[in-house]
Amino acid sequence: MSVPFFELQGISKYFARVIANKDISFSIRRGEVLALLGENGAGKSTIMKILYGLYKADEGRILMDGKEQKITSPKDAMKLGVSMIQQHFSLVPAHTVTENIILGNVRGKIDYKKCEEEVEQLAKMYGFDIPVRAKVGELDIGVQQKAEILKALYLKANLLIMDEPTAVLTPQESDKLMEFIKNFTAQGNSVVFITHKLKEVMEVADRVIVMRNGRVCGDLKAEDTNDIELSRLMIGKDLVQPERNFDSAKERTVCLSVKNVTVQHKKESPLINNISFDIYQGEVFGIAGVSGNGQEELCQVICGALEAGSGTICLKGKDITKDSIKDRIAHGIGYVPVNRHRDGMISNMTLAENMMLKTSYDRQWLKGGLINENKLAGYAKQAIDDYQIKAPGPDAEVKGLSGGNQQKVILAREVDIGKELLILNQPTRGLDLGAINHIHTIILRERMKGKAILLVSTELSEIFRLCDRIAVMYKGSFMGIYKSEELNTERIGLLMAGYSYDKEAAN
Amino acid sequence: MDAKSRDLIITNLLAISAGLVLSGFALIFLGVDPIAVFGNALKTIFTDKYTLGDVFLKATPLIFTALAFAFTFKANLFNIGAQGQFYMGAIVAIAVSLKLDGLIPTGLLLAVVCLLTFIAGGLVGGLIGFLKARFNANEFLVSMMSTYVVLALMNYLLRTFLKESKGEYPQTDALTRAAWIPTLVGGTRLHMGFVLAVLAAVGVWVLLYKTPLGYRIRAVGSNAQAAEMSGINSKRIYITAFFISGALAGLAGFTEVNGVQHMLIQGFNTGIGSAGLGIAILANANPIGIIFASILFGALNVIGNLMGRMPGINIPSSIIELMQGCVMIFVIISYYARSYMDNRREKSKLKKVEES
Amino acid sequence: MIINLLNRALLMSTPLLFGALAEVVAERSGMMVTAIEGIFLVGAWGGFVGSYLTGSTTVGILMAMCSGLVVACIYGGITIFMKQHQVVTGTALNILAAGFCTYFQRVIFGVPTSPLKITPLANLPIPFLSGIPVIGPVIFNQNILTYIVYLLIPAVYFMLYRTSIGLTIRSTGENPEAVDVAGISVNKIRFMTVLLAGIMGGLAGSFYSVGYLGMFTSNIIGGRGWIAFAICFLGNWNPRGAVIGTLVFGFAEAISIYMQTIGGGEYFPNEFFIALPYILTIVLTVSRKNFNVPAKLGIPYSKEN
């Protein structure tokens, strides 16, 4: 048996409140595509960051071609031919593609012309279409990722580590990436890609390492395993899917009516381009699409954070187009934002305090001019019980809760506020399967209560599991509104990338 | 008492001691025995009623300026202009007091002056808050510059409209006893203003932590984006927070003019703005902690003065700033020490759980 | 007479420009040097002490740079490596610096009967160039510090925009993670820019005592370190803006002094002229819309987020 390219032996890493990695051992072979599979928080990013020199292991050692290596910084890793592409790109948006690629790789005076030519040559060699003089912040996410990959290639990487690379790509772009990976490894290089998506693993990986709670719990050849086994290894048990009761029929009253809404800033292409749709009571209306195509803006226009340039929005027949956020909250619109830390909660306040974030003006919390703390605590305790939130109590700071539990707090609050309409923007992003399951159960429960629910998601499995009707959003417009059964992955993929498909021809 | 609170008290005491020890070294350069001098000063504070009273007297304006900085700090805003808002309060205090001195009963006069200084300081603060809300002006710079502007205004008024009848020096006439804040403890200079300061601190605490407005201010301060998305008008909060902040600093003008100086002269209490900032930091912007930290700084002030008056040795008054600066630096370092120890503790807890 | 005024304006701009350029470089890497006022002050004091005790202004200026460096070292250590709040730490250091300088001025020199004086830096007219009509006497008849600052402007510009280290510095302020991932120590870069600010700030401070007034008083800086700080902000974080901003303020300050000396007090109160630079700062701060704030300014960097 040949010596593996890289080998990790007994690596452990402790952070202040969590064991990120415990006794991790596995090897990476030359010419191999290795998938590092696990739920969020399993420790996959951490172990790779140790290999790349961003973190220092507390225990264990790293070997390359059989010899032990000391990797104390990314510079050491890069010398060994290791390059890592982070989940949230480490690019400087304000600088050009070239400037980003040469960062840390030039000395002294910079000859911009020469560097730009070099980068352009490299891009051509790999078939990447990248404008090397453009500012990164102005590029599409797919192109930004290509820039990140180009940076690794510029450094002549032999081992490419990619952290959740397909998170922001359309199905077609993901396919192209998989092709690149296959070609790259065919030349004798290795790729490790970190993911939580089973489908990708089965598609392109040679071997799979499954991690759970910071430990390796599976090291298998991809051809020897399947979805179900991998899923079981990932979460440690079998998952019970919620029942979906799709009795259509009954009379359908319109709850939310959006007509010809456009949001456009001067001299730019419209963020929302003449969108119209209705959501009925007791319906889950899904919006699929790669993030960045106007979904967030659409949610913001409905909840009041963004002003519509033209068009109307009506809730149960009442025109709310000009209403403030505060008023819309009073009308019964709940909103779970995609960026929960930035928009949905206040990290260093307590659970109870976060529960009153949107209703601080209400009389219900007042007693003699002061906040009625008992009532608030009781309300919070109720939410903890109803939503099975793992927290010490209503006085716990939310920043100490796990991502899933934080999302449950926000959900508890918004479900209560959203008595008519509930807007959910990627509500299960970054959560582990158990929490995702629970949230899906809650969504279906609220649907049964007769609420109108708007669900924006980039996870197609989630869209198909929960939605009655689906709209696909591309560059600010709806490519179409379809019944759930009219679509499949391939068709949605085309729509998400901007290709319309002829319904009649397809059927 | 849990480990965290224990850490807090021990590290704070260590920090204060370290700061004093370091400034004690400075005394050696003057050929003075720091231990003897400190000991002497402390003895005087605890045995002489007048000196002890002065500690709380000096603490009073510091409580107000510290509250002022802390209040806006909770909204993630920086009011560096407390000194200027204090000056504005002082100007209004002396002007109104001189006009009404002897015309209306003391109680009423003091109430009116108190209210007007509150509003005057509040208007200066509110203006800064408005510039921030309306133009997104950097309030740090605007508030800092505003102090110099108000100072210039005050000097101008002292030279012209407010100038004493004698016309000799740039200062105002003195107030008669009818406009003085009554003494709190006989035999000292300590006046009721201290009680007002403590009440203000308690009031700020209640406002910030027990009322919806305080909740909204803290929400905006922690995460303005989330607050806006939740229907809270952050711009209005900016103006409100700055108004209250400026008003608190303005009250220091009332207590210093009517309670201590009984007139307005140039160059008095020039450091209470920045000292107040430092105190707010030490107390981590907690209003109750501010009361104690202000008393500490008041004590440092008095110690410095006592040292300056000790026969034979000439300790300059700048020793006070030196002591304050040293203590502040060490307290800031103690924040780091505490988080470091906390991390170590958590990591070892984790390792213990693993081994079992 | 106008020429005199313009000459003065350039003169008063010098320390502000040192400070503003230093602040620009530091802020581009993400550090607000809020201790700048204290750095100016220790520079003024160190410069005075050095010049007075050795009789050499060169020694004084060197001492000024060292003093600034020491304060910057403490500031950098606490804000970068201990990750403490920048405004808080800066304020503490400013108070400490004020106490330290005033106190040790007394320790070293006691209470003199008349203020101690040193000969300030002489003007060094550059031969031939200073003869050019109008701009000659304005630009080329200054002291050595001003000539140094002339050279510093293109140097800082070149460094920031045309060299690798400049690209790294700018990236550190925009997205420190990108720099970290490239294997460069974010903290080292930031510490370096802070130390540079200490040296240049100390130099700036020395201007007031050694270069201009020829003596030291405890309020010799009077907020001008903060004006340099403001200029960085108002100049949009680049050297060109710093130059323009500094010239505006230098001019305002020159006018202020001029009006006071010729007795402009007849038309406007003196205090108005004293307040002029500060009012100007407020007006400019309000009317400016910041475009180019370094994205991560003021936020300490830690890997484990």
CA B313 – CA B28 distance, rounded (Å): 12
- Per residue in B141-155, pLDDT tens? 899 899 999 999 999
Closest CA to A210 of A47, A42, A407, A367: A42
Sorted by sequence, the CB contacts under 8 Å of residue B224 that are 6+ apart come out as: B76, B234
Give the chains touching B; criterion: ≥3 Cβ pairs < 8 Å.
A, C
Cα–chain center distance at B110:
21
> Which residues numbered 325-344 in B keep a CB inside 8 Å of some CB on A?
342-343
Of A499 and C224, which is predicted with more confidence?
Answer: C224
Cα–chain center distance at B265:
20
| The pLDDT of residue B293 | 93
Label residue C11 exposed, middle or buried (CB < 10 Å: 0-12, 13-18, 19+).
buried
Smallest Cα distance from C194 to chain B, Å: 18
The one-letter amino acid at A124: K
Smallest Cα distance from B251 to chain A, Å: 24
Give B78's contacts in chain C (Cβ within 8 Å). Answer: 87
CA A482 – CA B48 distance, rounded (Å): 87
- Residue A228, classed as helix, strand or coil, is helix
Smallest Cα distance from C154 to chain B, Å: 28
Domain carrying residue B100? 60-273
Question: Among A381-385, B98-102, C14-18, C119-123, which stretch is predicted with the lowest mean pLDDT?
Answer: C119-123
On the question of pLDDT at C29 being above 60, the answer is yes
Cβ–Cβ pairs < 8 A, chains A and B: 76
Closest CA to B40 of B313, B225, B340, B275: B313
| The pLDDT of residue A507 | 47
Contact (Cβ atoms closer than 8 angstroms) between residue A383 and residue A412: yes
CATH number of the C2-120+152-287 domain: 1.10.3470
**Residue of A53, A88, A95 with shortest CB distance to C171:** A95
pLDDT in tens, chain A (507 residues): 578 899 999 999 988 777 889 999 999 999 999 999 887 778 888 999 999 998 999 999 999 998 999 999 888 999 999 999 887 778 999 999 999 999 988 888 888 999 999 999 988 888 788 898 999 988 877 788 888 888 888 888 899 999 988 877 777 778 888 888 998 999 899 999 898 777 778 888 999 999 988 899 989 998 888 877 887 888 776 666 666 666 654 568 899 999 999 998 877 788 899 999 999 999 999 999 887 789 999 999 999 999 998 999 999 989 999 999 999 999 999 999 998 888 999 998 999 999 999 999 888 888 888 999 999 999 999 999 998 898 888 998 998 888 888 999 999 999 999 999 999 999 998 887 788 888 999 999 999 999 999 999 988 888 988 999 999 998 889 988 988 888 877 788 778 877 776 654 454
Q: Which chain A residues have any C-beta within 8 angstroms of a chain B C-beta?
A: 14-19, 22, 303-305, 324-326, 329, 335, 337, 342-349, 353, 356-358, 360-361, 365-366, 369-371
Asked if A92's CB is within 8 angstroms of C171's CB, the reply is yes
Closest CA to A183 of A155, A153, A163, A209: A153
Closest CA to B253 of B75, B80, B96, B56: B96
With both helix axes pointing from N to C terminus, report the angle between C186-206 and C164-174 in degrees, rounded to the nearest 10. Answer: 100
Q: How many residues does chain C have?
A: 305
- Per residue in A185-219, pLDDT tens? 998 999 998 987 777 788 889 999 999 888 999 89
- Chain B residue with minimum CA distance to A342: B226
CA C146 – CA C207 distance, rounded (Å): 9
Give domain limits for chain A: 6-235, 254-344+418-506
Q: Does any domain span residue B149? A: yes
Asked if C174's CB is within 8 angstroms of A95's CB, the reply is yes
Count CA atoms within 13 Å of residue B42 on its CB side.
8
- Chain B residue with minimum CA distance to A353: B215
| The pLDDT of residue B6 | 80
pLDDT in tens, chain B (356 residues): 577 778 888 888 899 999 999 988 988 888 888 888 888 888 888 888 888 999 999 999 999 999 999 999 999 999 999 999 999 999 999 999 998 888 888 889 999 999 999 999 999 999 999 999 999 888 888 998 999 999 999 998 988 887 877 777 888 888 888 888 888 888 888 889 999 999 999 999 999 999 999 999 999 999 999 999 999 999 999 999 999 999 999 999 999 999 998 889 888 888 899 889 989 988 889 999 999 999 999 999 999 888 888 887 778 888 888 999 999 999 999 989 988 888 888 888 777 776 76
| The pLDDT of residue B228 | 94
| The pLDDT of residue C47 | 93
CATH entry, A254-344+418-506, from 2.40.170.20, 3.90.1150.10, 3.30.70.1290, 3.40.50.300: 3.40.50.300
> What is the token pair recorded at A311?
């068009």
- Per residue in A298-354, pLDDT tens? 999 999 999 998 999 999 989 999 999 999 999 999 999 998 888 999 998 999 999
**Residue of B215, B225, B343 with shortest CB distance to A353:** B215
Q: Does any domain span residue B128? A: yes
Q: What is the DSSP letter of A268?
A: S
| The pLDDT of residue C305 | 43
**Residue of C162, C175, C182 with shortest CB distance to A104:** C182
Asked if C281's CB is within 8 angstroms of B145's CB, the reply is yes
| The pLDDT of residue A502 | 61
CATH entry, A6-235, from 3.40.50.360, 2.40.30.10, 3.40.50.300, 3.40.50.11540: 3.40.50.300
Asked if C295's CB is within 8 angstroms of A94's CB, the reply is yes
Smallest Cα distance from C55 to chain A, Å: 40
Strands (E), A372-444: 421-425
Give B210's contacts in chain A (Cβ within 8 Å). Answer: 370-371
**Residue of B29, B156, B321 with shortest CB distance to C99:** B321
Sorted by sequence, the CB contacts under 8 Å of residue A187 that are 6+ apart come out as: none
**Residue of B231, B346, B347 with shortest CB distance to A358:** B231
Give C182's contacts in chain A (Cβ within 8 Å). Answer: 74, 103-105
Contact (Cβ atoms closer than 8 angstroms) between residue A352 and residue A380: yes
Q: What is the dihedral sign for C-alpha B254, B256, B260, B264?
A: negative
For residue A333, list its beta bridge partners. Answer: A421
Closest CA to C44 of C219, C181, C191, C230: C219
Asked if A370's CB is within 8 angstroms of B206's CB, the reply is yes
On the question of pLDDT at C261 being above 80, the answer is no
Closest CA to A204 of A220, A231, A180: A180
Give domain limits for chain C: 2-120+152-287
Label residue A197 exposed, middle or buried (CB < 10 Å: 0-12, 13-18, 19+).
middle
For residue C37, list its beta bridge partners. Answer: none
> What is the token pair recorded at A153?
């290639």
Question: Among A493-507, C159-173, C181-195, which stretch is predicted with the lowest mean pLDDT?
Answer: A493-507
CA B281 – CA A382 distance, rounded (Å): 37
ipTM surpasses 0.85: yes
Interface mutation vs chain C, best among B74, B322, B347, most C CBs within 10 Å: B322
The one-letter amino acid at A297: E
C-alpha torsion angle, residues A341, A346, A350, A352 (rounded to 10): -100
Q: Which chain A residues have any C-beta within 8 angstroms of a chain C C-beta?
A: 15, 53-55, 73-78, 84, 86, 88, 90-95, 99-100, 102-110
| The pLDDT of residue B163 | 80
For A368-386, b/e burial (b = at least 16 CB within 10 A) is eeebbbeebbebbeebbee
